[in-house]
Amino acid sequence: MGEMGERVVRMGAWSAGPGCHGGCGVKVTIKDGKLTKCEGDEDHPYLQGRLCPRALALTQYIYHPDRLQYPMKRVGARGEGKWARISWDEALDTCEDKMRTIRDKYGPESMVFGQGTGRDAGGYIIFLAYAYGSPNWTLFGLSGISCFTPRLAAMSMVMGDFTFPDAAQFSPQRYDDPEWKAPEVLVSWARNLAGSGCTDHYFSGHWAVDMMKRGTKLIVIDPVCSWEASRAELWLQIRPGTDGALALAMLNVIINENLYDKEFVTKWTHGFEELKQRVQEYTPEKAAAITWVPAEKIVKAARMYATAKPAGMRFGQPLDSNREATSTIHALNCLWAITGNIDIPGGNVITRPPFGVTIYPYSTQEVIDLYGEEFVANLTKKRIGADRFPLVKNFRAWALSDMVLEQMETQKPYPIKGLWCQTNNFLANTAQDPKRHYEAVRKLEFNVVVDTFMTPTAQAIADIILPAGSFPEKDSVFTTGVPINAIQKVIQVGECRSDWEINFELAKRLNPQAVPWANVRELMTLRLKATGLTFEQLAEQSWTMAPKNHKSGTVPYRRHEKGQLRPDGQPGFRTNTGKVELYCTNYEKYGLDPLPYHREPIESPLSTPEIWEKYPLIMITGRRNSAFFHSEHRQIPWLRELSPFPEMEMHPETAAPLGIKDGDMVWIEGVRGKVKRRARLTPTMHRQMIHALHGWWLPETDGTSPNFYGVWDLNVNQLIPMGEQSTSGFGGAATKTMLCKVYKVKDEEATV
């Protein structure tokens, strides 16, 4: 304790607050019960003191005058903006009563539990959903769950585990670890380093720069000339949505020129001959016509990656949005497998939760480990989408968002009567075709929104609003990165409660037998059992990492050779064949193509030439912004100053014939409607593409119906359909590939 009641507490940062996927080590300064500063912890092994603008602006977030600080109930019609303050007892009594009524009358499956992306929602929302008895936990609104899940599903099917590039993140010594090697080449595929400079589960954009300083050369695959692309050894300016064709052409070159790792392929892969035959149709010349990347650059990239020893590959959400996302990512798996860049220093390292501890389950197996096989199997029988999509049934315990919306509309095969919406502003961000979601949800009998600020979604659909705490206002644990971080409650703001506290208490009310613990800390201690630490002990030391050769097999390298990956302890990978399955036997069993392939986007110059003629630009949306996390932070002064306007970017040579100047208000129009933006002209954009920032709404404007903070004027997701998920179910949200045209807004309409 310092002077005047001041102290510094070290912990991990996860949402709410920065909003992101977490993992940063921070120091928060508390003075007289109030948080006065948040800064990076230079002693933390993960980011070593680096921190994003959102965390640095945490004081403005926590103490913003518009923070939700007490429970409220709707007293007018939905959308009227009429709310009454109520006590926590009344709020939870109401939730319990309404949810019990729905469960008793229609069954627990008639309540959907919808989270957003980022945050630490997965652990506490599935906890409540399963205590209630509902199988329908989902990333509500996002078509095909097209963020992170498609890549996890593909990697799990093909190699039994997930991989990330090795940046020495598994060692407390970091770059001084004598085992580690900097990759000779790092492929950055559809990743915006500047926008994702902070944590991304097991990898940070900062680390790419660290490796560049140590001699790593970059291959950047991106339609935009990003900071990273401008410093790359090789930049491939790809047409969005054609990544599968590019990957297959690179495989064509590597295989046909005998650049693959013959020893690894022979010993540790399954289906090489079948893959070799498949890639013959994807010549560099054919791929060039599809991808807009010159054939000679495709050949150069393939040779450069294959001959680097070692080489790493990082890729981003645009691949999750590919028309056939799991197949596209299957092709990338094949690239690092046939070059032997798996589970070796400087390659793509297999990544599991530290010590095997799961708080936020990423796979069905992790859910089974937490809740039991029989329980999960019974819930899966009614989980929406599991009957239509085998991969949805057999990987990750989420209901499929597209089918959830469809069932809300049709009420078949069973009715949907309520939505528990937590950390999800779907009207402004998560949902494609948000008006369709709005119409479906507003007809439900009971909707709860748990959030930190009043959002368009909360105003439009909520009956009860519950105020959530930011990360220094809660007890929790971060386990989706390499260190396990403690998060501990050190302040109280208004009547806010942590998401864990809210869900824990309501779960205990709805199903006491499912919640035998006295409090959240006791539950966390149980989950931490494999570490040998209680929650309090972890909080005292802030973080812990699994040692090398730990029995959980969570630390590299060459675990496939040591028998650390398979449940039977035998060498190999956690797949049906014990090998990396270039020809995927699970895909074959599920009726999916067992080999990777490319499929055109739902709108493109090749698949819909008639639309391309009328709408000759490709609209990209969803690029990350260091000032905001998706639709959060628009009301935070420091962050809004960094990005004050809802913009769209286009090349000056594209804008000139249209009479568009920098700063002009423009319409972006597609076959499904139009939205308004401010033009920013930049030569970094491809001349046949535009980029529209996502997640925009204006909290300073009227929040009541029909305005809802300007969301219908600004949300680009209105141009993107639902129901176009990939064949596997996972992937296919067309957020990077919709066709459009751009023209100036009339003066009387230019209000943004």
Measured in whole angstroms, the distance separating CA 285 from the mean position of its chain's CA atoms is 33
pLDDT value of position 200: 64
Rounded average pLDDT over 171-191: 93
Rounded average pLDDT over 210-228: 95
- Two tokens at 640? 């809004």
- Two tokens at 245? 């064709």
In angstroms, the Cα distances linking 154 to 150, 499, 623, 730 are 6, 30, 22, 9
* CATH architecture type of domain 90-139+362-476+497-519: 3-Layer(aba) Sandwich (3.40)
CB atoms within 10 A of CB 329: 28
pLDDT value of position 554: 82
Do residues 253 and 284 make contact, with C-beta atoms less than 8 angstroms apart?
yes
pLDDT tens digits, 243-255: 999 999 999 999 9
For residue 3, pLDDT beyond 50: no
pLDDT tens digits, 713-733: 999 999 999 999 999 999 999
* CATH architecture type of domain 609-749: Beta Barrel (2.40)
pLDDT value of position 455: 98
- Two tokens at 384? 């929406």
pLDDT value of position 191: 86
Place of tokens 């105020």: 467
746 class by beta-carbon count within 10 Å (0-12 exposed, 13-18 middle, 19+ buried):
exposed
pLDDT value of position 750: 67
Is the preceding omega at residue 413 within 30 degrees of 0, hence cis?
yes
H or E element at residue 543: strand 543-544
What SS3 state is found at 81?
Answer: coil
Rounded average pLDDT over 303-317: 96
The yes/no answer on whether domain 157-353 falls in CATH 3.40.640.10 is no
Which pTM was predicted? 0.96
pLDDT tens digits, 27-68: 999 999 999 999 999 999 888 899 999 999 999 999 999 999
Rounded average pLDDT over 588-603: 98
pLDDT tens digits, 661-703: 999 999 999 999 999 999 999 999 999 999 999 999 999 999 9
pLDDT tens digits, 517-534: 999 999 999 999 999 999
Q: In the predicted model, what is the mean pLDDT of the chain?
A: 94
pLDDT tens digits, 118-171: 778 889 999 999 999 999 999 999 999 999 999 999 999 999 999 999 999 988
At 549, the pLDDT band (50, 70, 90 cuts) reads confident
Domain boundaries, the chain: 90-139+362-476+497-519, 157-353, 609-749
The region of weakest confidence among 151-155, 527-531, 554-558, 653-657 is: 554-558
* Secondary-structure percent of the chain, ordered helix, strand, coil, rounded to 5: 35, 20, 45
Residues 451, 425: Cα–Cα separation, whole Å? 9
23 Rama class: left (phi>0) / alpha (psi -120 to 50) / beta: left
What are the backbone dihedrals phi and psi of residue 620, each rounded to the nearest 5 degrees, phi first? -105, 135
281 Cβ partners below 8 Å, 6+ apart? none
For residue 459, pLDDT beyond 90: yes
For residue 349, pLDDT beyond 60: yes
CB atoms within 10 A of CB 625: 20
Q: What residue type is 577 in one-letter code?
A: T
pLDDT value of position 452: 97
State the SS3 of 136-202. CEEECCCHHHCCCHHHHHHHHHHHCCEEEECCCCCCCCHHHCCCCCCCCEEEEECCCCCCCCCEECC
For residue 232, pLDDT beyond 70: yes
Do residues 293 and 237 make contact, with C-beta atoms less than 8 angstroms apart?
yes
At 748, the pLDDT band (50, 70, 90 cuts) reads low
106 class by beta-carbon count within 10 Å (0-12 exposed, 13-18 middle, 19+ buried):
middle
For residue 4, pLDDT beyond 70: no
What SS3 state is found at 12?
Answer: strand
Reference 384, options 742, 114, 709, 683; nearest CA is: 114
369 class by beta-carbon count within 10 Å (0-12 exposed, 13-18 middle, 19+ buried):
middle
267 Cβ partners below 8 Å, 6+ apart? none
In the chain, the percentage of residues whose pLDDT exceeds 90 is 87
In this structure, what DSSP letter does residue 711 have? H
pLDDT value of position 198: 56
Helices and strands per DSSP (H, E), number in the chain: 29, 29
Rounded average pLDDT over 560-585: 96
669 Cβ partners below 8 Å, 6+ apart? 615, 740, 741, 742, 743
36 Cβ partners below 8 Å, 6+ apart? 6, 29, 30, 59
**Paired sense of beta strands 162-165 and 203-204, if any:** unpaired
93 Cβ partners below 8 Å, 6+ apart? none
pLDDT value of position 472: 97
For residue 256, pLDDT beyond 50: yes
For residue 494, pLDDT beyond 60: yes
At 408, the pLDDT band (50, 70, 90 cuts) reads very high
pLDDT value of position 298: 98
pLDDT value of position 1: 37
Strand order across the beta sheet in which 484-487 lies: 476-478, 484-487, 543-544
